[in-house]
């Protein structure tokens, strides 16, 4: 899901999707509903992007990486 999303955005805009915690600019948060498989998949995709970019983050654990960017929607959190 996440790889398809970011790859499609890059293809349509002709620009690399940037993440603030990796690139120093770009997307600073990804809001999710708290679904564990969704967050896990996001972490897996972000780890691949970190490895491809040789940025300042050297973390390879998807569960740690998502803590830099993923936020749970307040409504879903309260439920």
Domain segments of the chain as ranges: 2-7+16-78
Q: Which residues are CB-neighbours of 4 under 8 A, at least 6 positions away?
A: none
The reported pTM is 0.84
pLDDT digits (tens, 9 = 90+) for 13-67: 999 999 999 999 999 999 988 789 999 999 999 999 999 987 788 899 999 999 9
pLDDT of residue 22: 92
Q: Which residues are CB-neighbours of 69 under 8 A, at least 6 positions away?
A: 19, 20, 21, 27, 28, 29, 30, 46
Query: Which run of H or E residues covers position 43?
Result: helix 36-53
């Amino acid at each position: 899901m996440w790889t398809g999303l970011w790859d499609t955005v890059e293809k349509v805009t002709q620009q690399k999707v940037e993440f603030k915690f990796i690139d120093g600019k770009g997307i600073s948060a990804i809001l999710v509903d708290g679904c564990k498989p969704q967050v896990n998949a996001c972490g897996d995709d972000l780890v691949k992007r970190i490895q491809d970019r040789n940025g300042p983050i050297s973390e390879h654990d998807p569960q740690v990486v998502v803590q830099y960017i993923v936020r749970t929607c307040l409504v879903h959190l309260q439920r």
